[in-house]
Amino acid sequence: MLIESISGVRGTVPDSLNNEVVALYAGAFHQFCPKGDIVVGRDSRSSGIHFLTEIVETLMASGRTVNQCGIVPTPTLQYVVDDTEAVGGIIVTASHNPAEWNGLKFFGADGCYLNSSQVKKLMQLKSVDFPELSDGEGKHIQMNDAIDRHITRTCDVSWIDLDAIRQRKFKVAVDAVNGAAAVALPELLDRLGCEVVAINCEPTGEFTRGTEPLPENLSDLSQLVQQENCHVGFATDPDADRLAVIDEKGKPVGEEYTLVLALDGFLSTIDSSETVVTNLSTTMAVDKVAERYGAQVTRSAVGEINVVEMMKKTGASIGGEGNGGVILKEVHLGRDSLVAGASILHRLAQTDSNLSEVMNKLPKFEIVKYKVSIERIDGDTLFQKISDSFDSALIDERDGLKLTWNDRWIHVRRSNTEPIMRIYTEASSEKEAQELAEKVKLIIQS
């Protein structure tokens, strides 16, 4: 099955996604974009090289100049699109999906994901025969410095103290799942004066662990941190827009706290009041940290483009999502594992404390995430039923239903691509969060 969503298209290879399908979407993107260069790249999946070649050939046949970056993190391609005169970008990746999957993500001239109306227009164009431009064959330019440019920009962030990071001489364990960060993340850390101990850092596309950087997939990295006496461990997903963190004891801090740590480092360094943007399903630890520094938190619907559009609207400098995604406007408006890693090292360099000690000073909450299969259920009726079952909550209906109290919340939303309802709950303890989730699950199934 080929899945189209606001973040692009993905499917299994070759039954759902093949050269013919890829050419169709590349042609549609050519029609969608104004005249100008298009930047393309891929993650490390073995099918990616064939699809990238198909995209380049399709765009060149249409008269486009194509800047080809090769294997790069998704945020690297986003940065390059934004930093050049390019009118758009395509990266071949299926993000955290297994190796037999692949997909395409599309970006506008600002390096940001297309919004819902733009995606709708793009999907309509794929069924239209596209004309070749009259100015003949396009050009293919190999862009070999994309990663270096991205690293340099990350190191130039105004509030990140490079000298302090370098003086600490951090020892960092890295697990890039043999994906797109396999070269970029170790190179960034080397530039920051860190000693790097790496596993799964060959961009082969052979994913030797679960692709999502979740605690259950990071046991090898946790063990490496302890064996090598590292200060911290970093793990990415295959396209490197998400970062998970392991403390010096080998304990995963949880993807929710990647943004919290980066935010703590940012807000403790700058002198101005700030707006922070995150989505409705991200930990309320973001709110508590923001309160410490007099910052305001604005929440958006789930999805990177929704966070980014809210950042544009509010003028926020920092934002992100609770899946390990940190967005820093000073670099580019997209989730970025390199930015996240540098921000967290900056936070550690501000103190002589270990990461576990820094974590102990942060507000602690526990999130539980469920999926419930649904068939022929009216969402509005269900949301009303859930809302009626709980008292005294602040109600938000922008993205499903969110019920918020001072120390806990529930968020229920329908999946855009599967017949499931997603349940997110957060509370001060895992037990309380589980109880909230179970209650919602029973309501849905009753």
Catalytic residues: 95
Residue 342 to residue 125: CA distance in whole angstroms: 40
Distances (CA, A) of 119 to 40, 101, 196, 241: 18, 21, 40, 20
Residue 145: both structure tokens together:
């410095």
300 contacts 276 by C-beta, under 8 angstroms: no
Spatial CA neighbour of 342 closest among 245, 248, 272 = 245
The neighbour count for residue 294, using CB atoms within 10 Å, is: 10
Under DSSP, the state recorded for 182 is: H
Closest C-alpha among 432, 392, 442 to residue 412: 442
User: To which residue do tokens 């013919």 refer?
Assistant: 20
Which regions of 51-204 does DSSP assign to beta strands (E)? Answer: 65-71, 88-92, 101-107, 139-142, 171-175, 195-199
- Cβ contacts of 215 within 8 Å, gap of 6 or more: 244, 252, 254
Q: Cα(61)–Cα(71) distance, rounded to whole angstroms?
A: 23
